[in-house]
Structure 1
Amino acid sequence: MEFPSNDRMPLDLRMGQIRETERDEQVAAARTLLDSENGNFHIKGEPTVTFGVRDLEMRTGIGRGQFAEVVKRAVYTPRGMDVAVKIIYIIDRPSGNNDGRGNEEMIREAENARRAAHHNVVWLYGFVVEQQICYMCMELMQANLEEVKKVMHDQAGLNIGKKSENRDIESFLGCVTVAVVDGLAFLRNNARVMHRAEQHYDQRPRTGMLNLLVVFKNGHYLSTPQVKICDFGVSKKLHTGISNSRAHTTTAGCISYMAPEQFSVDVATSGYGSKAGVWSLGISLFECALGRYAFDGQSDFVIAGNIQTKDPPRIPMQAGFSQDLRNFVDACLFKYEPDRSSLVPTDGNCLQNKKFYKEHVRRGDDARSITVVDVLSLATPHLPMLRRSLLDR
């Protein structure tokens, strides 16, 4: 029997072989990174030191992921520094089987997080593998956007007395917009990494893609308050070239924040692009502005159906927000992916060209930091009760 040579193979078969070869090369490169970085702890501007699980004092839980068993607050004892530790079980604990998912997740996270060195992306201090368990140490965030939303809108029985003024909410959303657009653009255009939303506490969808970082010690700030993108446990890499320019998965993203194209029957073969992250940003801004979910339902199936069949959510004019904010959110929420704004600066329809983004860039870093400090000052006293209520659900 004669087998066709490469130049006579069907195009889809040849492209499949190319993708498989590229994946093998990426896995090999990631394993090299894993071997060289295992047990190294990096603090910006300081020499790298070695560490082990013995250096981590575990505290309370934060959340759970698809493959990671748990994310915990911990103390890196050599420095007395608070960190977030993501624990990935390479071998499935209940069954004792090693189906490769945990190892693949660990390798992907380590590679993606190390490549994503940007001031609007959480910093990976380091990771260590002991007894088939990977411990990933990252910056510990003070609050996430879901929590801030509930505080600003006086929800979840907080009894603050009143919701924040629209002008204060919009000023904060301007800070979020600049930080997240810059972070997503870096992940898409430079690091070739893309983030998806995470789940918090009770396993229901949360806007976990946005976190606030501010560090206090003895009443003083140790770093500039910033909005950061977090959680690489659910990240997907975006490769160059037509064949690998889109993520190939049907499960990437909390249902409430997934773009319509992610539900397509063709997504397993054609994938979806970075504009799915743009959709998620638009949904997050909509929800934080109005204090309600964009798409709700009694089950993931109902929510998915609503995303596919209903018109995209719009911030109504009577809600009292600026036309620039409403236009920006609208640009993120076109159901037809080609019409949606992009993260590519050379594209005339990119988010970086929108008036709302440019307006808040012009405010400057100092002014945006002050806004973030004000929001954190409002939210911080209510976070313990809010987190207890979420954990009790």
Structure 2
Amino acid sequence: MAAANDRRSRGMGLSLNLPSRQSPRPPPVPQPLPLPPPSLDESRYSRGSNNPGSNPGSNPGGNLGGNPVSRGLSGGVYHGHHGGAQLPQNRDVVLADLEKIGVLGAGSGGKVYKVRHRWTGKEYALKIIQEKHELAVRRQIMREMDILRSSKSQHLVECYGVFDRGGEISFVLEYMDGGTLADVLKYHKKIGERYLAEVTKQVLLGLLYLHKHKIVHRDIKPSNLLLNRKQEVKIADFGVSTVLANTLAQCNSFVGTCAYMSPERFDPDGNGGEYGYAADIWSLGLTLLECAIGRFPCLKPGEKPDWPTLMYAICWGEPPSPPADASPEFQNFIINCLQKNSNSRPSAEMLLNHPFVRRYEGQPGVISELLQGLVL
């Protein structure tokens, strides 16, 4: 209404104070986020160590401008261990060196672009959160993304830089050419157990790394599990969607995130107000079951996934059951993951030795086969 009155005021001949042509207002300068130095050390990661416990404390083709925020792992952003062109050591990826190729996806108040480094030709994914959030939220997002920047696991998507441009936050991420598990599911409609076993193994290795470093991901779902044609499956997003979701007034605007929440996360008051590593196990089980049956398992076909319906189904309904024609190993795996009582769910380390995961070990090329014919 104020804007409309202002437009009417201009039409009535009222004068406005305009900035001088000789001194235009400069554009906002990208400000680096003060990330702490890398802290997670892969050398401390051991598959055989003890269980950590259950509770832890749009312009495609255009160029981008910005200042480097943080250095990559081992003192440089990229050191060639993923193949492709190599950036000089101690050189950061800066936004001004990236050009947009196209859009990879959208959601959580922003978009993800495929970008190319103009000097090396290396491709990255650029995630831009376009909504302007208050400083406290941006700081929380920064803390979450620092997990990516400082982690040293081949099962986590790498982060090469974080930028704040007047409240618009940008992340330069590792580009995964196979897209997300959600893309794969949309293409195949259903995913067979042989493929799911390999996906499961790699996701569990990523979760094991996080849990050993006392980190709960909080947002495991098909769109946060990325694949590439080098046979890799990696975890992405580290709670950014959850942080954003908690700042929104309308719950229905983030049903994609809350749909995969465990009962103790969906209804904390009814579950002691706490959740731990087991919340990620529930989300993984729900994700795998969705891939196996081709639809979200907690709701009936055609049922509207609004907040009350989801809450009732997840908190008070019976856990969804695996299909009757699934193998006994897969059925048992899903049943274990989808225990309503979080203390009854196995840890990531225990599930790595589950018969479903071990049954299909040693089959090369499974991920490439799964991605065959998929065009993003």
TM-score by length of 1: 0.66
How many Å apart are 1:294 and its aligned residue? 0.7
CA contact (8 A) 1:30 1:111 kept: no
Q: Secondary structure at the match of 1:277?
A: helix
Superimposed CA distance per residue, residues 367-386 of structure 1 (whole angstroms, 9 cap, x where no aligned partner):
24x111111113x1xx45xx
Matches within 5 A, 1:116-135: 116-135=151-170
* 1:240 paired residue number: none
1:194 aligns with 2:229: no
CA distance in 1, matches of 2:127, 2:270: 29
Q: Percent identity?
A: 27
Alpha-carbon distance change, 62 to 267 in structure 1, aligned in 2, over 3 angstroms: farther
Letter of the structure 1 residue corresponding to residue 139 of structure 2? N
The structure in which a higher percent of residues are strand is 1
Matches within 5 A, 1:237-276: 254-266=257-269, 270-276=273-279
Bigger mean CA offset, 330-339 vs 75-84: 75-84
How many Å apart are 1:280 and its aligned residue? 0.7
Letter of the structure 2 residue corresponding to residue 32 of structure 1? P
CA distance in 2, matches of 1:62, 1:30: 28
CA contact (8 A) 1:116 1:193 kept: no
Matches within 5 A, 1:90-129: 91-92=132-133, 98-105=134-141, 107-129=142-164
* 2:62 paired residue number: none
2:310 is aligned, of 300, 303, 308, to: 303
1:285 aligns with 2:307: no
* 1:6 paired residue number: none
How many Å apart are 1:39 and its aligned residue? 6.3
CA distance in 1, matches of 2:318, 2:115: 43
CA distance in 1, matches of 2:120, 2:317: 51
Matches within 5 A, 1:211-360: 211-214=226-229, 224-234=230-240, 254-266=257-269, 270-296=273-299, 297-298=303-304, 299-317=306-324, 319=325, 321-343=326-348, 345=349, 350-360=350-360
* 1:207 paired residue number: 222
Q: Secondary structure at the match of 2:259?
A: helix
CA contact (8 A) 2:216 2:276 kept: no
* 2:128 paired residue number: 87
Letter of the structure 1 residue corresponding to residue 320 of structure 2? P
Alpha-carbon distance change, 265 to 189 in structure 1, aligned in 2, over 3 angstroms: closer
CA distance in 1, matches of 2:71, 2:131: 16
How many Å apart are 1:305 and its aligned residue? 1.1
Letter of the structure 2 residue corresponding to residue 371 of structure 1? V
Greater Rg, structure 1 or structure 2?
A: 2
* 2:202 paired residue number: 179
CA contact (8 A) 1:62 1:71 kept: yes
CA contact (8 A) 2:219 2:239 kept: no
Letter of the structure 2 residue corresponding to residue 69 of structure 1? G
Q: Secondary structure at the match of 1:279?
A: helix
How many Å apart are 1:230 and its aligned residue? 1.3
Residue correspondences, number? 292
Q: Secondary structure at the match of 1:194?
A: coil
Alpha-carbon distance change, 265 to 180 in structure 1, aligned in 2, over 3 angstroms: closer
1:146 aligns with 2:182: yes
TM-score by length of 2: 0.68
2:99 is aligned, of 29, 54, 57, to: 57
Letter of the structure 2 residue corresponding to residue 211 of structure 1? L
Superimposed CA distance per residue, residues 232-262 of structure 1 (whole angstroms, 9 cap, x where no aligned partner):
352889xxxxxxxxxxxx9998122111111
The structure in which a higher percent of residues are helix is 1
How many Å apart are 1:129 and its aligned residue? 4.0
1:77 is aligned, of 98, 102, 118, to: 118
Superimposed CA distance per residue, residues 92-151 of structure 1 (whole angstroms, 9 cap, x where no aligned partner):
4xxxxx44212331x213321123221111111223444444321111222211221232
CA distance in 2, matches of 1:86, 1:148: 20
CA distance in 1, matches of 2:168, 2:366: 40
Q: Secondary structure at the match of 2:240?
A: coil
